[in-house]
Amino acid sequence: MQTSFKKKSLSAILWSGGDIFMRQGLQFVVAIVLARLLSPEEFGTVALLYLFTGIAFALVEGGFSSALVQQFKGTHTDESTVFWINLVMGGLMTLLLWMIAPWIASFYKVPVLAPLARVLALTVLIDALGSVHRAVIGKKLEFKTFMKISASATVISASVAIMMAMKGYGLWALAAQMVATSVITTTLLWYFSGWRPKWEFSFDSAKKLFGFGSFLMLAGLLDVAYTRIYTLLIGKLYGVRDLGFYSRADNTKQIPVDVLSNTLGSATFPIFSSAANDIEKLRRGMQLSVRGAMLINIPMMLGLLITSPHVITVLFGEKWLPSVSILQILCLVGLLWPLHVLNLNVLKALGHSKLFFRLEVIKKIIGVMLLLLGVPYGMHGIAWSQVIFGVVSFWINAFYTQRFLRYGFFNQIKDFLPVLIVSLIMACVVGWVGEHTQGSSFRILPFQVITGVVAFIVLCMIFRIKSFQDTRNLLLHRH
């Protein structure tokens, strides 16, 4: 049974990782193309709406989908109830965004935001139609299906966006990409899942699921408000051009982070939930996840930090170079990102949604205080506030992992510290190579990347890094 669980978990993680890696890779290619076709101002204008659409999505989802996954033996009545709730909320949020669109445009003094907000509001309702289908597929660990859906949606929506950008539609190309992604994804979720709602609604189901999901909804709202409030502050105080540069740095950092974190988030939550009654099994799963995730994430983030000037130049062009210094700071934020996902998934899997929400309140209060302290120092001050917030959040999240699994802050650091040390050595080697290699960024960057990968693998083998050996053995199915 233990071997079967391990194989099923590994299969889910690999398929989920494949899906996200492919989707993020395609989106990354599209981002490169669009960054060369569009201006920082156009990207910054669309980013002004991230806070409002993010809040709408958090309210629509309401934590009910997560509740369906956590309740592994949920009924079709439960699922239908959540579907109708999400649909009503999606309609209300779409209507609300439509109504406040003129106010948003007036607040930022950017007239185009009014019609833009109304177009993007449609994605809220469209995504609500597929939220339960996504949860049903995720609960079954059928991540191969997600890969098919993501590939189709990303390719088609990207083609639409690039063609519109080439024809001079500007920021409307970005809006079209978002709408097309929502339409295609929801359509394919209905097609592949096979799930259909019934004309029934259970108040008992709603009450049961809301007891768990409501706290996740509130936590999601807090997280969106904090992580996207920078768009409001920078856009209002410094303008859409600076917001475009900050968003480019943040999105570039998030591309590799999201591949790993979303893989962990989508795969480990149902896996952890299925093992919630066996604390020792859950602890082993958590420890293995931390070691494997940080083995990939730490060298990736430090490598991006060192090579960021050449990365920005090669991928997006020299007009985006003001993003470099911000990206370097945000890479430090990305170092701990997978740990947030894993520690919080443990809480959700164990059913502690109320505690989850309380922690989010505490963290976000601290985060807002740090953010306000950083604002007077410009975009760099905002970025450094996120670094400090990341460390504090990790400590808070891991405190309860220690209580429930005996695997807290210091144990987790102990498990990834050898990788951090090896990665720092690798980063120094990569930096030295960059300084002593002649030529353009197009020549220097590939040389740095190859050197970094080889140096990291060799160092892991020389120092016999346990997480490296464990991950290699797991992938090779050795026991």
Task: Retrieve residue 180's tokens.
Answer: 């097309």
The answer on pLDDT for 436 being more than 50 is yes
Question: In whole angstroms, what is the distance from residue 174 CA to residue 165 CA?
Answer: 8
Domain chopping of the chain, boundaries: 14-241
Question: In whole angstroms, what is the distance from residue 309 CA to residue 358 CA?
Answer: 40
Averaged over 90-100, what is the pLDDT? 93
Taking only the tens place, the pLDDT of each residue in 423-432 is 999 999 999 9
Q: Which residue has the higher pLDDT, 194 or 385?
A: 385
Measured in whole angstroms, the distance separating CA 136 from the mean position of its chain's CA atoms is 20
Taking only the tens place, the pLDDT of each residue in 102-142 is 999 999 889 999 999 999 999 999 988 988 888 777 666 66
Taking only the tens place, the pLDDT of each residue in 222-279 is 878 887 888 888 888 888 889 999 999 998 998 888 777 766 666 666 677 666 678 8
Q: Are 175 and 116 in contact (CB under 8 A)?
A: yes
With a pLDDT cut of 90, the percent of the chain lying above it is: 42
The answer on pLDDT for 143 being more than 90 is no
Question: In whole angstroms, what is the distance from residue 386 CA to residue 382 CA?
Answer: 7
SS3 category, 74: coil
Sign of CA dihedral 13, 18, 23, 25: positive
Choice among 72-81, 93-102, 118-127 with the minimum mean pLDDT: 72-81
Measured in whole angstroms, the distance separating CA 105 from the mean position of its chain's CA atoms is 28
- Residue whose C-alpha is closest to residue 89's, from 206, 1, 248: 206
**Residue 192: what pLDDT?**
84
Q: Are 9 and 289 in contact (CB under 8 A)?
A: no
Choice among 154-163, 180-189, 225-234, 254-263 with the minimum mean pLDDT: 254-263
